[in-house]
Every structure is written in C-alpha cells, then in structure tokens.
Chains A and B, each alone.
Chain A
C-alpha cells in the first residue's frame, strides 16, 4: 500500500523539525538535536560550498558554528518572527559574515554581532503566523517560475555572497542591470508588498 502513503510535504517536515527544536529548548534533548543536525548540516554545508567550492573544512566549521547557536539559543528563538528554516538561514548567514570578517585580508573593527537580528525575543513586532506560511508558499512557487537570469542573480547574491559589483563583473553585465534584475525578481516574488 506504499503508493497510498501520502508523501510528507515540506510543511509536515517543518512541523516535525520545529517539534525537535522545542525538545532541545525545553528538555536539552540530544536525540532531537541529532535529528536537527541530520536535516540542516547538509544544507549548511551546501550553503558554505556555494561560496567556497571545495572548502570542506570551512563548510564543517560553519556547521559547527551554526549548530552551536542552535543548541545555545534554542530557548530564545521566537517562532513568531521567522520559521525554523528561516532562522537557520539567518544564523548561517550571520556566522558566514563573522567568519569572513575574521579571515579577511583587510581588517575592519566593525562587529556584526549586534547588526543582524537573530530572531530572538527582543526583535521587531512579530507578524501573524498564518500569513507567514502563505508568504512562504508563494515565495517557493514564485522562485520556480522566475526567468533563469533572475534566479541566477539571486543565487549569486544570496548563496555565493557576491556584491552587486562582483555579480556585475562575473556576469559581464552593467551594474544597473544587476540591480534591476534583483528588483524585478523581488517584484515577481511579491516580497516587497507590505500588507
């Protein structure tokens, strides 16, 4: 009867993972943490490798940095501000920024710690949970339908961590075209409509 079994949707998976996080927060449950690790570590590694292909050690370091925060901050994470997938993305992004700053050829004294919200309780006004999942669905569907040149530019900026200028150099496009493609993509995804 396996053909009758309903396939788990991304939403079901997220509910299960969120339950794991709650067990980590409330019970310091290591097996729940292991489940989170199994799901997110390969994603975090892929994210790191998108920017630095071949750097497995850097990717493993990023996993450790992010999962350390998951263990320590599970109790302060506020699901009203972002779902678990988005929280993991912001943690991975913040850890990557910090890593790049520490390993940059040109030093800067700017400490990014207090600059990027980590979806903890003191953050901005939460939005409605119901609306959140709808937005999520529309972004997922929208990404599938983006013209290739627009999804390519989002990949460069979000995953490879390229500045607009770097993207313009690599794609041999004028800077203005890079910016307008980002803007068009966001418009298609309806990211910027404030309801």
Chain B
C-alpha cells in the first residue's frame, strides 16, 4: 500500500460507512481505501459505530413464518442467490471497485480526446446525474484552468499531478467545490490516470427559484 497524503473528509468516510453516500462518490472513497491503510482503520471503527447504533434500536420481532421459510430454504441456497463479484482486472492499478467497468486495463478503453493533453472515457452515470469518468493527462500535460458548477471528486489511479495547492500521488483523494479554480499539471515522467466524479449542475425546479437557473449557468450562485 502506498502512503497517500490526501484523504476523504471524516464525515464523508462516515457517510460511506453508513451507506448513505451517493454510489458515484462511494466509488472514489472505495478506490482511495485500496491505497490507504489509515482510512481503512478509521472505516473499521466507523463500521463499529454503525453496528452499535443498530444494536441500540428496539428489536422488531420477526414472525415464525419468516423464520420457518428461511430455515426451509437453507438446503437449496447456492452462491447464485447472491450477486457475483467481478473478476479481477489484468492491470493491478485498476481498483477492485472499477473492475465492473474495466475488463482488461486502461489501454483498451475507448478514450476520447478532450484537449491536446487530455483524454477521457465516461464509465457511467449515478442516479443523481453525476458523471463518473477516467481522465488521462499526458506526461507534463495540463488540464486547462476550470471552475466547477458542482463538486468534483478525484482519485489518482496512476502517476501524479500537481496544481496550485500541491502535489498529488497514487491513491490521493481530493474534492474541488463549486467555484474552486485549479490547473492540474501531470508530472513529466509518466502519464496520469484519475477517476473523476462530477456532479451535474444544480437545476432548480420551483416557480421562483427557476429564475435562478440562468445565474447558475453563469456561475453566480
């Protein structure tokens, strides 16, 4: 395990442990956890908090019917009754949580050109509309300065990059909020591959607040 220096905030890790984090963000936390022993230890304790809270609930009696049905079914249960785990990718730098999208490694993905320095491939969308993608920055390449409409979650899977705030290495996790401006530059020695989750721009649907939408698109709110 490499030693990452940028970690998810504590409350984000707690939401992951509670299972209340959107799955797209949970993917990023999960990818980070494969690199980070200290967050793994924190998570084990956060799970313990969940377990204690669950035990403090007033038990809700289960019917005899349910129990008998369960006991009668035991002999016929097979591994097909629970979701299968995905096979391991050929590339060890692909985190386990991404095996569902990446069969053979990064090279075989349908990369699309974003700029001279950057390629991207969309992996999926979350139910909240967030986009989950991989970004590949060529050695020494730069992502043009950009701001965000929603939060952007990034985990470095391979290589490293730096921006105004510092240097980020394999396993590092970062969140850039609305309006944060940054210019990531990949290091010279190799290309950098990141997992990036971007939340869609917020759209208000209320009668009054709909008038805010043009402002949001221009980044005023």
List residues of A whose CB falls within 8 A of some B CB.
10, 30, 33-34, 37-38, 41-43, 45-47, 49-50, 59-60, 63-64, 67-69, 71-73, 81-83, 85-86, 88-90, 92-94, 96-98, 101, 104-117, 124-125, 127, 135-136, 139-140, 143, 154-155, 157-159, 161-164, 179, 182-183, 186, 189, 191-192, 194
Contact = CB atoms under 8 A, between A and B. Distances in A.
A164 B14 CA distance: 10
Interface stretch (B53-61, B113-121, B136-144): B53-61
Majority SS at the chain B contact face: helix
B124 A110 contact: yes
Most buried by B among A10, A81, A89: A89
User: At the interface, is chain A mostly helix, strand, loop or mixed?
Assistant: helix
B42 interface: yes
B49 A191 contact: yes
Contacts, number: 211
18 contacts: A30-B71, A67-B70, A86-B50, A93-B50, A97-B19, A107-B127, A113-B84, A113-B86, A115-B23, A115-B26, A115-B30, A124-B33, A158-B54, A161-B19, A162-B20, A182-B11, A192-B10, A194-B42
Given A127-B44, A157-B14, A143 B26 contact: no
Contact of A68 (B20, B24, B81): B81
B157 to A, nearest CB: 15
Nearest to B61: A42
